[in-house]
Structure 1
Amino acid sequence: MIKFENYIIRPLENNDLAPYFDLVERNRKRLEDFFTGTTSMTNSKEDTEVFLAEMIKRREAKTYFPFVLVDSETQNFIGFFDLKNVDWSIPKAEMGCYTDKDFAGKGITSKAMGYFVTYCFKEFGFKKIFLRTHESNKAMQIIAEKCGFEKEGVLRMDYKTTSGELIDLIYYGKLK
């Protein structure tokens, strides 16, 4: 668990169904193009329960690590971080994240990401953490650079959006 200011970053658990579903539901429109799996598998609380169980199973297999950003005063979920595409032979992982629309643009994501990346290097022993973002996501580009990630390049036609469009993604990496 990571604590800073009035926030906590902690692993997502099975009993987080209601607050996790609410976070996704409040932000569904913002997430649908770039968090395709999340939005397609959380259309109801029942779907979300299955999705949560699958995420926890993947964490136990050490192939995926989901975390939530929680306001410690209200206990509301205000963000989500995950490590995916884990390659233990390097070792490296891709980081994903999103912040609740009501908390975006307040500097919380930058601080949380900084703490989270430090935690991941120390806790998991990764040598590299990378992230991918679309050119339209200027906020993530700024956050990534603020947190010490370096732009490594653009991979063309690297992601299929919910609508089926193939798009380019900017890759950022940070070494331990």
Structure 2
Amino acid sequence: MFFIKEIQSLFMPEVKIRPQELFDAERFFEIISHTNLEFMEFPIKTLEEERDFLQLNEAKRRANFEHNYSILYYGKLVGACGIRIDQHRPWIGEIGYFIDRDYQGRGIATEAVKQLEKIGFEKLDLQRIVILIDTRNRASERVAQKCGYQKECVMRKIHRVGEDYYDCFLYAKTR
């Protein structure tokens, strides 16, 4: 068994997640400025807004509202992920993530979701984790499937990008 894990680790990308820090702001702003985030509503328009967002992370974590992480690929910050806790059903969390366009397609999001899921189930004591995926976003759908999430339904016009509303697949996994 140990040998199999050693072989697998040779082919797995080195991905780690860690709590976001204020010093991540410039890199995050760089990523969101040059990555096509067509499937996301992204309110950050300036570096200062990114810093303001990051400064709220500790309060969000303490309130068990949102737990945000930086995604590192071989030590380089390449994206972000997080779990937002349903405030009416605190045993349910929703995962979200984005990856720098220059690093997409390398299995980074899949590995980050697996690590985030472990935090959700083991540390945050969640019973259910969901991922809402714009129906046009096939790459994110593959991430959910690779991580063992099950498609439960299509949610009509639940997702807003700009002034337009889109359908999403609801993928979920329970503990």
Q: Give the TM-score, by structure 2 length.
A: 0.84
1:40 matched residue in structure 2: 43
Please give the secondary structure, in 1, of the residue aligned with 2:23: helix
Runs of 4+ residues deviating >4 angstroms: none
2:56 matched residue in structure 1: 54
Structure-2 change in CA distance of 1:88 and 1:123 (3 Å): farther
Structure-2 change in CA distance of 1:76 and 1:18 (3 Å): same
Deviations 1:70-98 (CA, angstroms, capped at 9, x unpaired): 124xx421121111143474501110011
Please give the secondary structure, in 2, of the residue aligned with 1:40: coil
Structure-2 change in CA distance of 1:21 and 1:12 (3 Å): same
Deviations 1:7-51 (CA, angstroms, capped at 9, x unpaired): 320111223222222222232xx22x4332xx322x222121112
The percent identity for this pair of structures is: 23
Structure-2 change in CA distance of 1:125 and 1:102 (3 Å): same
Please give the secondary structure, in 1, of the residue aligned with 2:131: strand
Q: Matches of 2:120 and 2:64 in 1, distance apart?
A: 13
2:33 matched residue in structure 1: 25
Structure-2 change in CA distance of 1:40 and 1:141 (3 Å): same
User: What displacement does 1:133 show?
Assistant: 0.7
Whether contact under 8 Å (2:152, 2:172) holds in the other structure is yes
Q: Aligned letter for 2:172?
A: G
Q: CA RMSD in A?
A: 1.9
Whether contact under 8 Å (1:87, 1:93) holds in the other structure is no
2:119 matched residue in structure 1: 119
Q: Give the TM-score, by structure 1 length.
A: 0.84
1:166 matched residue in structure 2: 165
User: What displacement does 1:144 show?
Assistant: 0.4
* Mapped pair 1:97 → 2:97: yes
Number of residue pairs the alignment of both structures matches = 164
1:175 matched residue in structure 2: 174
Q: Aligned letter for 2:107?
A: G
Whether contact under 8 Å (2:68, 2:80) holds in the other structure is yes
Gaps of 5+ in 1: none
Structure-2 change in CA distance of 1:51 and 1:8 (3 Å): same
Gaps of 5+ in 2: 1-11
Whether contact under 8 Å (2:85, 2:91) holds in the other structure is no
Q: Matches of 1:85 and 1:154 in 2, distance apart?
A: 21
Whether contact under 8 Å (1:151, 1:171) holds in the other structure is yes
Q: Matches of 2:90 and 2:53 in 1, distance apart?
A: 28
2:19 aligned to which of 11, 20, 28: 11
User: What displacement does 1:123 show?
Assistant: 1.1
